[in-house]
């Protein structure tokens, strides 16, 4: 038996203090405080410099409170402490922060810092026991709000309910224990994946098909994070998300405008719905890279011409397109000015569908401002603009299990109400969705919420730029020697 269940998350606090390793009076009190925290199963990471503290904040997501010396590095200007605080708040706005100071110094702490800290620690006034109690309470409160709705409910449920009386028939993994290969399988993935593999008949977690209970709460939470009116968690990839949208939006012999470089699932969805596609041709440069559909092909006149020239359309030519699909970003990573697409294509169709399978991160970095489907929009403009759909493969460029996908909807002109849309959703969903995939959608949303999304995308962009610089430098150096090497575009 393990002494600590692998289902419990470890607790760590970061102690950033000059004297935590010395033998001064403060050092002794800090050690006493440390012992109290350890008794509460809290591990303490210590840092005596800004550099160490910031490195730990970046690398250790299990830190659940920061205990910060206002005079870190004995800096009377407090720049060191402020740098640590800023590094934390750039990534996480909810983590509890305690400032070590005395009453005299506290009076001079600037308002901006007070706003970012949660509490003070008066090291020589309160007992270690009392201070530890406050820290433990803050850590517990932080942990309670940290998990998103569906994953939080799933984690709690898997701890409370020992036996499974529903499908899947492996009943919490126990069926695998009866043969050598089954046991190897169980040990390979570990207990939790089986214990949390549940049936739609587990009422406590709600239903993906009804969008009820914690699953429905998770979808509402993701809608807030991704800027949608409604979000649907999908467990069969964006291939299914695309089919759901098209089946809900168009029917036999209706006209749809379709990016010529769309995903196969769009073609399938059009085949199934019986709609008639008119293709819009994207640009392609001399390297073969796929760019966007140029604006001059998105105007009402150009759309009318494409409709007229399309042999699939009847000769009477009175067909009016309802739905348009655009791949954003393109397969080679080029993205659209979505507001402009809405303005241009919105003159021809009421419903715009952005296939953002590779683009779920866009909302979280200002670099992509207005270049993704669920960009911010004043409420007044919503009803006059087209209804907008986005499909995102959470598993592609966010962190989630394979097949995790989301549909985001923003209602505008000619919206599809939830009840009707959900018929198409159910037509393509299994009645036995995988709960680990649903939970991974939920966790993906929570990773991108608030400061986290900005910090994570910023890191990736910096790494990508550094990588390009490196390739370009190698290319240039080898070119000087008359040799060839790949280059970046």
Ligand X SMILES: *Cc1c(COP(=O)(O)O)cnc(C)c1O
Active site residues: 263, 355, 396
Interface with ligand X includes 440 (CB under 6 A)? no
Smallest separation (angstroms) from ligand X to the CB of 59: 30
Q: Quick one: which segment of 61-69, 76-84, 353-361, 423-431 binds ligand X (CB under 6 A)?
A: 353-361
User: What x/- string results for residues 370 through 409 when contact with ligand X is judged by CB under 6 A?
Assistant: -----------------------x-----------x----
Smallest separation (angstroms) from ligand X to the CB of 460: 18
Binders of ligand X among residues 233 to 262 (CB under 6 A) are 237-239, 242
Interface with ligand X includes 263 (CB under 6 A)? yes
Which is closer to ligand X, CB of 85 or CB of 357? 357
Which is closer to ligand X, CB of 164 or CB of 240? 240
User: Over the chain, what HEC string results?
Assistant: CCCCCCCCCCEEEEEECCCCCCCCHHHHHHHHHHHHHHHCCEEEEEECCHHHHHHHHHHCCCEEEEEEECCHHHCCCCHHHHHHHHHHHHHCCCCCEEEEECHHHHCCCCHHHHHHCCEEEECCCCCHHHHHHHHHHHHHHHHHHHCCHHHHHHHHHHHHCCCCCCCCCCCCCHHHHHCHHHHHHHHHHCHHHHHCCCCCCCHHHCCCCCCCHHHHHHHHHHHHHHCCCEEEEECCHHHHHHHHHHHHHCCCCCEEEEECCCCHHHHHHHHHHCCEEEEECCCECCCCCECCCCHHHCCHHHHHHHHHHCCCCCCCCCCCCCEEEEECCCCCCCCCCHHHHHHHHCCCCCEEEEECCCCCCHHHCHHHCCCCCCCCCCHHHHCCCEEEEEEECHHHHCCCCCCCEEEEEECCECCCCHHHHHHHHHHHCCCCCCHHHHHHHHHHHHHHCCHHHHHHHHHHHHHHHHHHHHHHHHHHHHHHCCCCCCCCC
Interface with ligand X includes 358 (CB under 6 A)? yes
Which is closer to ligand X, CB of 73 or CB of 355? 355
Smallest separation (angstroms) from ligand X to the CB of 353: 11
Q: Quick one: which segment of 162-170, 268-276, 352-360, 369-377 binds ligand X (CB under 6 A)?
A: 352-360
Number of chain positions touching ligand X (CB under 6 A): 12
Longest Cα separation, the chain = 92
Smallest separation (angstroms) from ligand X to the CB of 327: 5
Q: Which of 69, 259, 350, 355 binds ligand X (CB under 6 A)?
A: 355
54, two tokens: 């910031």
CA distance 18 to 411: 55
Interface with ligand X includes 265 (CB under 6 A)? yes
User: What x/- string results for residues 126 through 145 when contact with ligand X is judged by CB under 6 A?
Assistant: --------------------
Which is closer to ligand X, CB of 213 or CB of 360? 360
Interface with ligand X includes 361 (CB under 6 A)? no
Smallest separation (angstroms) from ligand X to the CB of 380: 32
Q: Quick one: which segment of 340-348, 355-363, 376-384, 427-435 binds ligand X (CB under 6 A)?
A: 355-363
Which is closer to ligand X, CB of 186 or CB of 359? 359
Q: Which of 231, 313, 327, 348 binds ligand X (CB under 6 A)?
A: 327
Which is closer to ligand X, CB of 136 or CB of 257? 257
Smallest separation (angstroms) from ligand X to the CB of 235: 10
Smallest separation (angstroms) from ligand X to the CB of 249: 16
Question: Which residues would be at the binding site for ligand X (CB under 6 A)?
Answer: 237-239, 242, 263, 265, 327, 355, 357-358, 393, 405
């Amino acid at each position: 038996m393990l002494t600590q269940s692998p289902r419990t998350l470890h607790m760590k606090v970061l102690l950033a203090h000059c004297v935590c390793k010395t033998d001064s009076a403060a050092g002794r009190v800090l050690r006493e405080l440390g012992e109290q925290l350890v008794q509460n199963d809290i591990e303490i990471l210590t840092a005596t410099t800004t550099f160490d503290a910031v490195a730990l904040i970046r690398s250790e997501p299990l830190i659940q409170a920061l205990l910060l010396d206002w005079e870190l590095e004995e800096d009377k200007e407090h720049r060191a402490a402020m740098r640590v605080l800023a590094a934390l708040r750039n990534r996480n706005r909810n983590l509890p922060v305690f400032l070590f100071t005395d009453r005299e110094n506290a009076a001079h702490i600037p308002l901006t810092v007070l706003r970012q800290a949660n509490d003070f620690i008066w090291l020589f006034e309160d007992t270690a026991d009392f201070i530890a109690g406050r820290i433990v309470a803050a850590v517990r409160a932080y942990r309670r709000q940290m998990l998103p709705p569906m994953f939080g409910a799933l984690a709690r449920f898997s701890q409370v309910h020992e036996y499974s009386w529903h499908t899947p028939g492996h009943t919490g993994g126990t069926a695998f224990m009866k043969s050598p290969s089954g046991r190897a399988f169980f040990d390979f993935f570990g207990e939790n994946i089986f214990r949390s593999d549940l049936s739609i008949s587990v009422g406590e977690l709600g239903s993906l098909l009804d969008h009820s209970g914690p699953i429905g709460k998770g979808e509402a939470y993701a809608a807030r994070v991704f800027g949608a009116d409604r979000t649907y968690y999908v467990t069969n990839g964006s291939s299914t998300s695309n089919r759901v949208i098209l089946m809900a939006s168009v029917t036999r012999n209706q006209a749809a405008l379709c990016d010529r470089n769309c995903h196969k699932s769009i073609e399938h969805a059009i085949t199934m719905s019986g709609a008639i596609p008119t293709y819009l041709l994207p640009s392609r440069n001399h390297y073969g890279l796929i760019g966007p559909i140029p604006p001059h092909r998105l105007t009402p006149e150009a759309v009318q011409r494409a409709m007229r020239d399309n042999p699939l359309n009847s000769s009477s030519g009175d067909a009016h397109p309802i739905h348009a699909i655009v791949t954003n970003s393109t397969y080679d990573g080029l993205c659209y000015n979505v507001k402009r697409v809405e303005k241009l294509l919105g003159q021809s169709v009421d419903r715009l569908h952005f296939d953002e399978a590779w683009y779920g991160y866009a909302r979280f970095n200002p670099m992509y401002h207005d270049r993704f489907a669920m960009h911010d929009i004043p409420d007044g403009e919503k009803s006059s603009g087209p209804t907008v759909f986005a499909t995102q493969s959470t598993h592609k460029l966010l962190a989630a299990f394979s097949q995790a996908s989301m549909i985001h909807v923003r209602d505008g002109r000619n919206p599809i109400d939830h009840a009707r849309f959900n018929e198409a959703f159910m037509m393509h969903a299994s009645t036995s969705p995988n709960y680990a995939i649903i939970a991974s959608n939920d966790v993906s949303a929570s990773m991108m919420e608030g400061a986290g999304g900005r910090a994570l995308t910023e890191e990736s962009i910096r790494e990508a730029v550094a990588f390009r610089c490196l390739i370009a430098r190698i290319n240039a150096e080898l070119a000087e020697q008359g040799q060839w090497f790949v280059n970046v575009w």
